[in-house]
């Protein structure tokens, strides 16, 4: 059982115990105790092992006092730095918006849990993610689908985990709501109010990407960036465009009489191109690095896509050569982010990384 020290993984462990499973806890360590990251204020003062994503003292406390299960600590600090944090930085320096949580689930957390379980000859791995194990009769596929609690659904963040791996992963909370989870935890006397919850990248809990990247940017860059409209007319200057993302409106640092949004971050020329809401809409998109049965076999039924975890899946059709067309224009087509495809039953059929607009034509 992958444990974070949070309420969801704790309740999942309890449910598995009550169902008759022999449960072993495991926490994947991804930060060293002296990691400072890019945080400020109170967040900077907290050691990384006391963050919501990997709260070691809380895991120890819960396993010993409430769950009564053995647990192990699995060190993945170097891999996390190399495969997640460094790739995250590289993405922004290439002018795209990476998605570290999907990468972390696929490359670090679930992979690590599966590898450890296999070494111990343990049949299944479980996590506290909100997603449903699902079998599609129509397409004869095992996989995952959106959770009953759509507000908490995390199928999007699991979309880069290969199908053969997902067959070995259980999601006890797939048919639970968050309110029900809290109610159950309180009934078991678990200290719900003392447990931290984090729905963002663990190293960006202050929601300040630019600050996180600032020191590295200052080290290899000099001079301001130009901010222009879509016609190339200069609007203003900002210290850096690194950390900005397509569709962003606030925190740019330039004033304008009308609402304007980031359309493109041109790293090579140090230019941020702004546009109206209409200017950032797309109807067509293309992906790279496709993963999932959608790209391996004939799939029947309607196709839907999400570009963000919190958005409703919208209809789309395949156009060939990894190109797709939406039924309506959408502002979520952001290069570097993940496009996750679903069927009529909200089952994940596949995913891919969104290409820049110039690669879509």
Active-site positions? 104, 202
Quickly count: other Cβ atoms within 10 Å of residue 256's Cβ. Answer: 12
CB 309, CB 156: distance < 8 Å = yes
Please state, in angstroms and as integers, the Cα–Cα distance from residue 324 to each residue in 288, 295, 327, following that order: 12, 13, 10
Q: 35, 9, 34, 36: which is closest to 23 by C-alpha?
A: 9
Tokens of 86: 């460094």
Burial of 161 (C-beta count, 10 Å sphere; 0-12/13-18/19+): buried
What span, in angstroms and rounded, lies between the C-alpha atoms of 335 and 96?
Answer: 5
Where would I find the beta strands (DSSP E) of 138-250?
Answer: 141-146, 169-170, 225-228, 234-238
Burial of 165 (C-beta count, 10 Å sphere; 0-12/13-18/19+): middle
Please state, in angstroms and as integers, the Cα–Cα distance from residue 223 to each residue in 42, 90, 157, following that order: 31, 20, 37
What span, in angstroms and rounded, lies between the C-alpha atoms of 238 and 252?
Answer: 8
């Amino acid at each position: 059982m992958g444990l974070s020290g949070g309420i969801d993984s704790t309740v999942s462990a309890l449910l598995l115990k009550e169902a008759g499973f022999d449960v072993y806890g495991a926490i994947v360590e991804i930060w060293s105790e002296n990691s400072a990251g890019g945080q400020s204020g109170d967040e900077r003062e907290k050691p990384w092992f006391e963050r919501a994503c990997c709260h070691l003292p809380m895991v120890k406390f819960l396993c010993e006092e409430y769950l009564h299960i053995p647990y192990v600590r699995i060190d993945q600090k170097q891999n996390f730095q190399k495969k997640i944090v460094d790739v995250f930085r590289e993405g922004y320096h290439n002018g795209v918006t990476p998605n570290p949580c999907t990468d972390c689930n696929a490359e670090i957390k679930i992979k690590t849990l599966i590898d450890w379980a296999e070494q111990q000859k343990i049949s299944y791995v479980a996590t506290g993610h909100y997603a449903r194990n699902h079998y599609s009769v129509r397409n004869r596929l095992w996989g995952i689908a959106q959770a009953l609690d759509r507000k908490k659904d995390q199928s999007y963040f699991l979309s880069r985990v290969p199908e053969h791996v997902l067959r070995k992963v259980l999601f006890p909370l797939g048919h639970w709501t968050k309110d029900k989870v809290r109610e159950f935890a309180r009934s078991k006397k678990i200290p719900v109010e003392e447990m931290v919850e984090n729905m963002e990248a663990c190293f960006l809990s202050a929601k300040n990407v630019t600050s996180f990247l600032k020191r590295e940017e200052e080290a290899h860059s000099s001079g301001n960036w130009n901010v222009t409209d879509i016609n190339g007319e200069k609007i203003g200057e900002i210290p850096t465009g690194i950390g900005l993302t397509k569709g962003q409106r606030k925190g740019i640092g330039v004033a304008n009489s009308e609402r304007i949004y980031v359309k493109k971050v041109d790293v090579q020329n140090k230019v941020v191109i702004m546009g109206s809401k209409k200017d950032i809409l797309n109807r067509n998109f293309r992906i790279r690095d496709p993963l999932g049965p959608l790209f391996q076999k004939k799939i029947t039924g309607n196709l839907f896509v999400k570009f963000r975890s919190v958005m409703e899946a919208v209809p789309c059709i395949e156009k060939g050569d990894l190109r797709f067309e939406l039924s309506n224009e959408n502002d979520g087509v952001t290069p570097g982010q993940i496009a996750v495809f679903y069927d009529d039953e909200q089952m994940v059929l596949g995913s891919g990384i969104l290409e820049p607009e110039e690669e879509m034509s």
